[in-house]
Chains A and B, each alone.
Chain A
Amino acid sequence: DGGITQSPKYLFRKEGQNVTLSCEQNLNHDAMYWYRQDPGQGLRLIYYSQIVNDFQKGDIAEGYSVSREKKESFPLTVTSAQKNPTAFYLCGSAGRLWGNTIYFGEGSWLTVV
């Protein structure tokens, strides 16, 4: 089935540790995105990539890093520099043509204790 797979669904980490969230898509989409959602809030853009080996910072990129070595994959690393990492993380992908829709994975819950 075509879609976006995020893993793991739930992740617990100790403060000070880096953690990497996986995002894989088989929709042949060029663009991929990472958003963060905090309770009662909307989706805030962390990073996005329009093409392999290129990515841009979103509104809240500090404390995060990404890579785009393959079209299908866009992993997000939450570093120890991120002050409030506990959140729900959403990965999305979209085509690059006008009028395209962004589709999302099931999300990953990260809890830092």
Chain B
Amino acid sequence: EADIYQTPRYLVIGTGKKITLECSQTMGHDKMYWYQQDPGMELHLIHYSYGVNSTEKGDLSSESTVSRIRTEHFPLTLESARPSHTSQYLCASSELGQNYGYTFGSGTRLTVV
């Protein structure tokens, strides 16, 4: 039973379109993260948030932006999609001190054609 939800699960979109990937969690976690993962490659942190109105860029440079207006919601937006944005995007949340790290969403597999 998932407590963190990502939509859509799969998305194919044309170059230049604006898209928003949704991520919501029902656990009341303060911390939320977006990771990008290409097939067979490691997860790269692209954005994170430690609470409402707090967002930071991660280790991997990304052309996407995020917002955190409510605790449970952490959407990621690409203003103009490009084929280089084709990847899997994973959202996760955590609570300080918890010993299982993150709870992950099911991911959004994005293809830009």
- A and B interact physically: no
| A binding-site residues for B, Cβ under 8 Å | none
| B binding-site residues for A, Cβ under 8 Å | none
